[in-house]
Amino acid sequence: MPDRILTDELWARLEPLLPALPPRRFRYPGRRRTDNRAALEGILLVVRTGIAFNDLPTAAFGASGATCWRRLTVARRRCLATAARAAAGRTTRRGPHRLGPCRGGLLPSTGAERGDHTGPSPVDRGRRGSKHHLITDAAGTPLAVTLTGGHRNDVTQLLPLVEAIPPIRGLVGRPLRRPRRIYADRGYDHDKYRRLLRQRGITPVIARRGTAHGSGLGTKRWVVERTFAWLHAFKRLRTRSERRADVHQAMLSLACAVICLRKLLASF
């Protein structure tokens, strides 16, 4: 029996967000429908270990690889991203209001699996790949993650990441929707985006290109790099093998939900 990553706490948070199964139309509908929890356990095993869906141990989970992939495409990003944002809102109640977007992590895509959100790699134009763009709070809790082609500049995802931040519950009052400060590296150095952030009431703390290192941003931004390491510990996310971008995005959101839950349980 493989180690199971879907704990009772994670399932309790994800179950209300999953789409309901369609009602049975006939008196004798055939064999029994696979349980959502068994399918989700198979999906998590694929994301964590990087094995193919066809290689899932059906006898151990009670769900075939085809069933797991089909359920993932049905749920997709809508419900899984909501789960990640809901868990993130619970884990950011005690930390300072600082957010740090990180430079996109380049992901190579296999030759035959080229789909949406891919582009020439900036380090090897002969290969196509994708990028992960991530924004976290001061404690490294992932708040939003996006997927783009490998040729996209990091700064183009700065505002989409900021706009994707969910309401974060904290002290008494309205939920926090926007951070007070944003820390970023030189990949986000652009005066246009600094002005756009200030218009939103956010103070940008972004290193400038051509300046010497030692600005001190590394003492605050390391938590984002650590979150990237946590995210890419899920082997399925290291190299994109999904043709459909929404399926890979769903896996990203599910991995963020698992990270948020781990941080939530560690805070108690």
Whether 3 is in a domain gets the answer no
Q: What is the sign of the dihedral through the CA atoms of 239, 244, 247 and 253?
A: positive
Is the pTM here over 0.75, yes or no?
no
pLDDT tens-digit readout, 221-263: 788 889 999 998 998 888 888 888 888 888 888 888 888 888 8
Range of the domain at 152: 8-21+32-266
For residue 191, is it within any domain?
A: yes
Determine the pLDDT at residue 192: 92
| pLDDT top residue among 24 and 254 | 254
HSE-CB at 190 with a 13 A cutoff on CA atoms is 13
Mean pLDDT of 17-35: 67
CA-CA distance, 185 to 198, in Å (whole number)? Answer: 17
DSSP letters, 199-216, are HTT-EEEEPPTTSPS-SS
Residue 1 placed within a domain: no
The set of residues, in sequence order, having a beta carbon less than 8 Å from that of 2 and lying 6+ positions away, is: 45, 57, 60
Q: Structurally, how many domains does the chain consist of?
A: 1
Question: How high is the pLDDT of residue 222?
Answer: 85
Query: What pLDDT does residue 194 have?
Result: 92
Judge whether 198 lies within some domain. Answer: yes
pLDDT band per the 50, 70, 90 thresholds, residue 90: very low
pLDDT band at 111 (very low <50, low <70, confident <90, very high): very low
- Which letter does DSSP use for residue 176 in this model? B
* CATH number of the domain to which 204 belongs: 3.30.420.10
182 falls within a domain = yes
Contact predicate 162/134, CB 8 Å:
no
Which among 50-64, 135-149, 200-214 has the top mean pLDDT? 135-149
Q: What percent of the chain has pLDDT over 70?
A: 71
Greatest mean pLDDT among 3-7, 60-64, 101-105, 242-246 lies in 242-246
Is 201:178 a contact under the CB 8 Å cutoff? yes
The H-or-E segment that residue 183 falls in is strand 181-184
**What pLDDT was estimated at residue 48?**
86
Is 27 part of a structural domain of the chain? no
203 or 107, which is more confident? 203
End-to-end CA distance of the chain: 29
> What's the pLDDT score for residue 72?
78
In a domain, 141, yes or no: yes
Q: CA 20, 21, 24, 25 torsion: positive or negative?
A: positive
What interhelical angle do 65-91 and 245-266 show, nearest 10?
Answer: 50
What is the structure's pLDDT at 100? 56
Is residue 197 a part of any domain in this protein?
yes
Does 155 score more than 80 pLDDT?
Answer: yes
Residue whose structure tokens are 């151990």: 60
Closest to 257 (Cα-Cα) out of 52, 28, 18: 18
pLDDT at 101 over 60: no
Residue 136: what are its φ and ψ, rounded to 5°? -130, 170
Contact 127, 209 (CB under 8 A): no
